[in-house]
Amino acid sequence: MAEIRILPPDVAERIAAGEVIDSPAAVVKELVENALDAGASEIRVEIQGGGLHLIRVADDGHGIPAEQIELALQRHATSKLRDVADLERITTFGFRGEALASIAAVAEVSIISAVEGQPGARCVYRVGKPVEKIAAARTRGTTVSVTDLFAALPARLKFLRSHKAEVAAISATMRRFTLASPDTRFALTINGRLHFRHEGGGLVEALSAAYGPGAAEALMPLEPVEVEGARISGVISGRAATRSSRAAIAIFVNRRPVVSRPLLDALEEGYRHFLPGGRHPLAALFIDLPPEDVDVNVHPAKLDVRLRYERAICTALTSAVRTAFGRHPAPASPLQRLTLDGTQPRLRGLAPRVAEERSGWRVDTATWESSTPLHASDTLPALRLLGQVNGALIVAESADALLLIDQHRAHERVIYEQLTATRAPQALIEPALVDLSVVEQARLAERLAALEELGLICEEFGARRILVRAVPVAPSTPLPADAIAEILRIAATEQDNWRERLLATIACRAAIRKGRALTPAEARDLVEKLSRTRSPASCPHGSPIVLQIGHALLARQFDW
C-alpha cells in the first residue's frame, strides 16, 4: 500500500494553480482584473503564439511599491482583503491573492511596476529559481509579462484548444471587460497586429466594439428596475438581431462578468414569445447590488456568483425584458417589412427616421419613448377600423398613425394565448387517423396523458397509427388531415419545447388564413381580442403582427 505523504510544495502549488489558470484566456482575465482593481484608465494586452509564448498586460494603475513586488507573487498575498469581515463585502475583482502565484507556478512571470513619484522595479519569477530583482524605470503603472505558459506541463498543453480558439477566447474575455468598464481604454494586439481597440467612449462604443458595428443600433435599453436593493439595467436586442448561441449575452454582477444559468434563463424567459426557437438575443446586463448580497467566493475562477435575492432578481429581469418589448415593439420590423415589398423608394424616408429614433436612447430614454408612436405592451391604441386590403390586412387608424394588422398572425396570437390559459378539448366531428413511424408512435404512446392535459385527445390505433378524437381549439375552418398529422408529429418530437411548439402550431393551423374576407364585425372582434392579449406586437413565432406608419412619417413623405 502506498504511504500517505504531504505533497512537496511545488507539486501542491501546481495543483492549486490548475484551478485558476486553465488556459491563456484565464491568465488574461486575472491580469486585466488586477489592472482594473488598480484603477487603470488604459489597459494594453499583447499576445503571441496563442498566449503560450507571451501574454503581456500593461496598465497605468496605481502600481506596486518596488519593495512589495516579490510579495505580490506569493500565494495568499493580497492588498484587497484584510480580515474575514472584508470577505462579506468584496468590491474588487481579486481578493484571494492567488492569481499571480498561480500563474508563476505554470509560467515565467516578469513584473515591472512603479508607484507615482517612486522608483520602479522589475521582478522575474521562474519555477525553482531565485527571484531576480532589479531597479527599473517606468512611469506609474504595472506591466506583467507571462512567457512559456504551461511549457513545463505537457499534460495541460495537450488539452488546450488550437491557437485560433485560444485567441478567440481571449478576444471574448477582453470584449466582456470592455462592456463592464466602458470608460476604460482597452487594446488587444495579437502577434504584432492590433486586433481590437476601445477608446473608452462609453457603453454604445463598447457595444460596437464587442458585437460589431451596427449592433448598438439593434439594441434597446432596459428600463432600470430595483428589487431587494439590486439594480438591474442594461441593453438587450430586439428580434432583428439574434445569434445561434448565448455567446453574445454578457451579464455583470457589480461589473464582474459572470456565467449564471438562472440569470441567463430568466433573460431568455422574457424573450419566450418574441424569438424563434433556437435563436438567442444579444445583451449586456448589469446587476448592481450591495456587496454583502452577493457571494463571489463560490467558483475558483469567480465566474459564478451566488445572489442573496436571486429568485426576485430573476423574476424582475424577465419582466423587464417583456416590458422593453412592450415599449419598443420590434423597432426594426416595420422597416424590414416595408423594404421587402415594392414600396421601398417612396418610403425611403422611413430609414433615417427609424435610425434616429433608435439612436435616441443613447442620449435620453425619454426622448426615444416620446418620439416612438408605437403601441404599448398590453393594449393597442384606440383604433378606428377602415377596412381590409389584400384579403390579408386589417387597415386601421389611431390618433397618430395608420396601422396594418396581419389578420392571420393576429388570430394566431389570440388563439395561442387562449390555449396557454385554458384548454377545453373540442371533439372532432370525424376523428382523424394519423400514420406515424414506430419511433413517433412509441414517443406519443408515452405522452397520451400529457397530450390530454393539453386538450389533444388521442388513442393508439394499431402499431403505427393514432386516432385523434379532440383538439384544444375550435378552428375557423375544419382542420385538414395534414394539419392534424403535423400537430401529432410535433407532439412526437424529442425537443424539450415540444409543448410550446405544439400549441403554436395548433394556433397557426386553426387561425384564419390570408385571403379570407372579413366582415366589419369579424374584424372588430379580432382586433378587440388582439388588444387583450399579452403581446399584440408579435405572433407566437415571433413575427410582427402590426405595422404602424406614424403621422410624422406621412408628413415627411408628402412634404406636408
Q: Which of 78, 184, 533, 538 binds ligand ADP (CB under 6 A)?
A: 78
Per CB under 6 A, 94 contacts ligand ADP: yes
Q: Where are the beta strands (DSSP E) in 169-210?
A: 185-190, 193-198
Q: Which does 96 bind (CB under 5 to 8 A by kind): ligand ADP, Mg ion, none?
A: ligand ADP
Residues in the chain: 560
Q: Is 462 exposed, middle or buried (0-12, 13-18, 19+ CB in 10 A)?
A: exposed
Nearer to ligand ADP, 95 or 186 (CB): 95
CA pair distance 271, 317, nearest whole angstrom: 11
Region near ligand ADP per CB under 6 A, out of 91-99, 204-212, 369-377, 424-432 = 91-99
Residue 395: alpha-carbon gap to chain centroid: 36
Q: Which does 415 bind (CB under 5 to 8 A by kind): ligand ADP, Mg ion, none?
A: none
Q: Which of 79, 189, 233, 476 binds ligand ADP (CB under 6 A)?
A: 79
288 residue type, one letter: D
Region near Mg ion per CB under 5 A, out of 93-101, 291-299, 462-470, 518-526 = 93-101
Nearer to ligand ADP, 30 or 417 (CB): 30
Q: Which of 142, 178, 254, 318 binds ligand ADP (CB under 6 A)?
A: 142
Q: Helix 520-531 to helix 407-421 angle, to the nearest 10 degrees?
A: 50
Q: Which of 51, 61, 63, 94 binds Mg ion (CB under 5 A)?
A: 94
Per CB under 6 A, 64 contacts ligand ADP: yes
CA pair distance 53, 291, nearest whole angstrom: 37
Per CB under 6 A, 181 contacts ligand ADP: no
CA pair distance 127, 130, nearest whole angstrom: 8
Residues 6+ apart with CB under 8 A from 141: 38, 40, 58, 59, 60, 61, 63, 113, 114
DSSP string, 68-105: GHHHHTSTT--SS--SHHHHTS--SS--SS-HHHHHHH
CB 141 within 8 A of CB 58: yes
Question: What is the helix (H) or strand (E) element at residue 344, kind and residue range?
Answer: none
Q: How many CB atoms lie within 10 A of CB 191?
A: 14
CA pair distance 184, 282, nearest whole angstrom: 22
Q: How far is the CB of 104 from Mg ion (least distance, A)?
A: 13
CA pair distance 540, 321, nearest whole angstrom: 16
Contacts (CB under 6 A) with ligand ADP, residues 499-558: none
Nearer to Mg ion, 144 or 510 (CB): 144
Q: Which of 95, 274, 368, 416 binds ligand ADP (CB under 6 A)?
A: 95
Q: How far is the CB of 107 from Mg ion (least distance, A)?
A: 15
User: What 3 state SS string does 465-509 have?
Assistant: EEEEEEECCCCCCCCCHHHHHHHHHHHCCCCCCHHHHHHHHHHHH
Q: Which of 50, 63, 238, 536 binds ligand ADP (CB under 6 A)?
A: 63
Residues 6+ apart with CB under 8 A from 6: none
Secondary structure of residue 234 in the 3-state scheme: strand
Nearer to Mg ion, 20 or 210 (CB): 20
Per CB under 6 A, 96 contacts ligand ADP: yes
Q: How far is the CB of 128 from Mg ion (least distance, A)?
A: 24
CA pair distance 194, 45, nearest whole angstrom: 10
- Closest residue to ligand ADP in the complex (CB): 94
Contacts (CB under 5 A) with Mg ion, residues 31-50: 34
Nearer to ligand ADP, 98 or 406 (CB): 98
Per CB under 6 A, 59 contacts ligand ADP: yes
Q: How far is the CB of 79 from ligand ADP (least distance, A)?
A: 3
CB 174 within 8 A of CB 188: yes
Nearer to ligand ADP, 90 or 512 (CB): 90
Secondary structure of residue 151 in the 3-state scheme: coil
Q: How far is the CB of 210 from Mg ion (least distance, A)?
A: 23
Nearer to ligand ADP, 33 or 486 (CB): 33
Q: Is 368 exposed, middle or buried (0-12, 13-18, 19+ CB in 10 A)?
A: buried
Q: Which does 166 bind (CB under 5 to 8 A by kind): Mg ion, ligand ADP, none?
A: none
Question: What is the helix (H) or strand (E) element at residue 402, kind and residue range?
Answer: strand 401-406
Q: How far is the CB of 16 from Mg ion (least distance, A)?
A: 15
Q: CA 167 → CA 34, 254, 504, distances in Å?
A: 20, 26, 41
Q: Which does 198 bind (CB under 5 to 8 A by kind): ligand ADP, Mg ion, none?
A: none
Q: How far is the CB of 30 from Mg ion (least distance, A)?
A: 5
Region near Mg ion per CB under 5 A, out of 94-102, 176-184, 351-359, 452-460 = 94-102
Nearer to ligand ADP, 30 or 293 (CB): 30
Q: What is the dihedral of CA 511, 513, 519, 525, to 10 degrees?
A: 30
Binding mask 99-128 for Mg ion (x = CB under 5 A): x-----------------------------
Q: Which does 79 bind (CB under 5 to 8 A by kind): ligand ADP, Mg ion, none?
A: ligand ADP
Per CB under 5 A, 61 contacts Mg ion: no
Region near ligand ADP per CB under 6 A, out of 34-42, 165-173, 244-252, 456-464 = 34-42
Q: Which does 551 bind (CB under 5 to 8 A by kind): Mg ion, ligand ADP, none?
A: none
Q: Which of 50, 97, 542, 550 binds ligand ADP (CB under 6 A)?
A: 97
Binding site for Mg ion (CB under 5 A): 34, 94, 99
Binding site for ligand ADP (CB under 6 A): 30, 34-35, 38, 59, 61-64, 72, 77-80, 94-101, 142
